[in-house]
Structure 1
């Protein structure tokens, strides 16, 4: 069978640096090929170069696209911009990784889909709008007429991704390039988007190139796999071949990167480090209609929550976006007001910063995205040592520097590995190294409890495993307690002793992690576990 797309000796060069080194792959009609690798492996640049979407790059090699069996294949890399413009969205479409940045915030999603239909099919404005609504309906968005009139920020993550898929598919392409289409989504939404793509692919006879680092996703979805490392394609084959008998060490490393459990299986003992009873968090909101003129309503984000974090143990809080888990973490940090009881090491958050200073030393936080949580204008020494200026102001500069070096050594960062380490800035480190800096900043003041808000969701699988191993080691060595916020069931299995499952602000199920995840009672918990498997 003639391949729909045959790529040979593809090379991409920026200036003097070649970032994609002569890769070969092909996609048959109706086939799903997964291009797998970590950040920086070259997989996204390879896909974008096929459509002439990489700026300031030299692209060489061959990419022959045979959309019409009656016509000879076209050489994509030699097409003029006018022909590429006609081909994009019509014969080859692309779904980008982050819909919030790919969609225009100033236009409704219906307008953006309708624009594609007007440009590609020459429809009138009315016909294009009706087509946009039908495209949204085909992706399973509820109330597509209303959703078409919504702006991107008014939709959930899953709905935004469906809108992106609707826009990509309205041109009925022969080939769809999907760049990490589920990375920013919760586990159940991931399954829904993959099911949707599979249904559309089968219905339209479309081929699909899936760009991802998630091997669990690849195992469920793809027909064949091509593995990239540092711009080289190191291995390819069927899903069964690659997962049962990987030949390249890098492929084996990716497959073995699923989080592993290595925690001290200690039983409950001592007083809780944190406990809550009947805790509630509400936000004021406007009421619809004339009622909003006279009074305000409220939205309850966390309802009647009860939990406890025991000494030396990890409590995992798992749920989808909008479940209330991050709101619960903010209340636990004393950053937003709450009702009900919440105690941290036997104390309660007060109304002002001065009364809370002693508690702040005992409770520290590690955020989801280390790049945005670390100041780009501060050096490593300033970032890690900042807490000491607040909680131990009597320390002189030499003693503070020694404490900073020790905290960095605790998380695996040393001057021998990074010359001039203390004077470096966050942008000079990788994502995993930046997360280690964030952990060192939290540890330096000697906390008893760390609140971990999705600490590995922004990291590649191999880096995620390294950070989880670091957190496990630190818990054993320093007898730390963790409140772990995540939507990743695999991370909960690896890290948690106890778990609570949240949905729509309520705790649906709670208990020891093996009991809850291996024999879930609630249907929602069963759905989460099944989607992760």
Structure 2
């Protein structure tokens, strides 16, 4: 195949620290290449270096891009002037970023943002660019593209925002698309849709795609070739089928073997359930159109008559897409949104007053999806983990509180011997997996009976995800904890859950044991979820 870009001896350094070490990489025209590795492996820095978007970095080596017209001279992207790069970015090389909500400008409609690219790169008039933007949105499968073009990013769903970013990236029909974790924030069925969309657009336009990911299932479904990076080194490269059949490097084998493993205790029979719901409904007020909205509000029912029990010492998994109501169910379980129907925690109903709820809050704690945003950057580890004791055990002295903090941190695998000055450190001094351990320690220190786990591993790499799941399994076995696990990852459900609820649009479509629901799904939606995860 004709090389589109040939990268030789690429080295990237920040100050005296080199983070990419002599990478050689070839991307052929029309090829789908996956660059795989954990966070910190250097894969995103490598891709951004091709278009010189790594700020404050020293980049050496060469990245020669083939000319657009036969007989032209190739251009070295690492030696090109800024003026030359301005012409290449967006036109010849485009990029899809990981999180569309932060990559899209919240002050402009998605149509304006796509049209801006067309005006700058192709010289279209505003009217021509707007019509082309609508056509680009239509090509990505967004329903009612003419109407959606007038929407702001926050008015679109996660999948629609990602499609809008793809429309912006492909508006000028680039020769190379850099896709940086384009499906990480999406549900399994949406991931499949986005992958199919990219593959279809790639076939239509003949562009090459460099997919940056740590999700091996995506690689297997999408890519032609795979390159594996570890700590800034390219350790293995080859056809997807060959690498997956017989990985040569130990790091590649480690990634392949990092699927969640099931090692959970059986629920405790004869003990009262830590949480029980009957006809649980969560309703939000919404404005009505026209003059009716002057006099009353409408209703949006986010959870419709849910019934469930969390097994004592076991895990109830709730799986579904974004907008299915699973996170609203978690908020109701935590007493953070008003609800109708019956919801009991350790036999008690959530009350209306703060004082009445305090004993219940001690029994049910939460671990959020993103540990970096859920931990205060201005508080030390000792303050973060010990905060719950100030509320639920105010009688403890400073030294007693510190002893409990140290013991809980050791229980989740964080010790002073491993991290000198651990108690006085701040969250930014830890990796993603270590921060999630801090979040688990914060929840455990008040000795709850039930943990609500809201996507606890979706922001983590596969190997770190496996470590956190093993920690949760050990804590459940040793402490007899019950979990309410909210996730869209069927593999995590398979590894952790005893009972499963499948939700869509606020309703429970299917429920039962994990073996019954996942091995023999009855509902078509459940079958689609399971099929998308295999």
Same fold (TM over 0.5): yes
RMSD value over aligned CA atoms?
1.0
Distance in structure 2 (CA, Å) of the matches to 1:83 and 1:111? 25
SS in structure 2 opposite 1:368? coil
Distance in structure 2 (CA, Å) of the matches to 1:197 and 1:407? 46
Give the aligned partner of residue 252 of structure 2.
Answer: 251
CA-to-partner distance for each residue in 1:285-332, whole Å, 9 max, x for gaps? 101122212211111111101011010110000011111111100101
Counterpart contact for 2:266–2:313, Cα < 8 Å = no
Instruction: Give 1:344 deviation, angstroms.
Output: 0.6
Instruction: Give 1:68 deviation, angstroms.
Output: 3.2
SS in structure 2 opposite 1:414? coil
Counterpart contact for 2:268–2:313, Cα < 8 Å = no
Distance in structure 1 (CA, Å) of the matches to 2:379 and 2:130? 49
Q: Does 1:318 align with 2:319?
A: yes
Give the aligned partner of residue 528 of structure 2.
Answer: 527
Distance in structure 2 (CA, Å) of the matches to 1:500 and 1:359? 24
Give the aligned partner of residue 261 of structure 1.
Answer: 262
Distance in structure 2 (CA, Å) of the matches to 1:384 and 1:205? 52
Distance in structure 2 (CA, Å) of the matches to 1:321 and 1:140? 18
Give the aligned partner of residue 100 of structure 2.
Answer: 99
Give the aligned partner of residue 120 of structure 1.
Answer: 121
Instruction: Give 1:267 deviation, angstroms.
Output: 6.8
Give the aligned partner of residue 69 of structure 2.
Answer: 68
The aligned length equals 533
Could you state the TM-score of these two structures normalised by the residue count of structure 1?
0.99
Give the aligned partner of residue 26 of structure 1.
Answer: 26
Instruction: Give 1:339 deviation, angstroms.
Output: 0.2
SS in structure 1 opposite 2:306? strand
Give the aligned partner of residue 486 of structure 1.
Answer: 487
Distance in structure 1 (CA, Å) of the matches to 2:79 and 2:529? 47
Distance in structure 2 (CA, Å) of the matches to 1:180 and 1:400? 41
Give the aligned partner of residue 2 of structure 1.
Answer: 2
Counterpart contact for 1:269–1:310, Cα < 8 Å = no
Equivalent residue runs for 1:74-223 within 5 Å: 74-223=75-224
Counterpart contact for 1:34–1:211, Cα < 8 Å = yes
CA-to-partner distance for each residue in 1:63-108, whole Å, 9 max, x for gaps? 1111433323211111111111111111111111111111111110
Counterpart contact for 2:12–2:60, Cα < 8 Å = yes
Check 1:266–1:335 CA distance in 2 against 1; reply closer, same or farther (3 A cut).
closer
Give the aligned partner of residue 421 of structure 2.
Answer: 420
Q: Does 1:35 align with 2:35?
A: yes
Distance in structure 1 (CA, Å) of the matches to 2:355 and 2:69? 72
Counterpart contact for 2:267–2:311, Cα < 8 Å = no
Distance in structure 2 (CA, Å) of the matches to 1:316 and 1:406? 29
Point out where structure 2 has 5 or more consecutive residues left out of the alignment.
none
Distance in structure 1 (CA, Å) of the matches to 2:333 and 2:2? 59
Give the aligned partner of residue 275 of structure 1.
Answer: 276
Distance in structure 1 (CA, Å) of the matches to 2:296 and 2:77? 61
Instruction: Give 1:268 deviation, angstroms.
Output: 5.0
Q: Higher mean Cα deviation, 139-148 or 393-402?
A: 393-402
CA-to-partner distance for each residue in 1:449-489, whole Å, 9 max, x for gaps? 00001111111111010000000000000111000000110
Distance in structure 2 (CA, Å) of the matches to 1:387 and 1:122? 59
Instruction: Give 1:279 deviation, angstroms.
Output: 0.5
Instruction: Give 1:269 deviation, angstroms.
Output: 3.9
Check 1:242–1:437 CA distance in 2 against 1; reply closer, same or farther (3 A cut).
same
Give the aligned partner of residue 400 of structure 2.
Answer: 399
Counterpart contact for 1:385–1:400, Cα < 8 Å = yes
Equivalent residue runs for 1:375-454 within 5 Å: 375-454=376-455
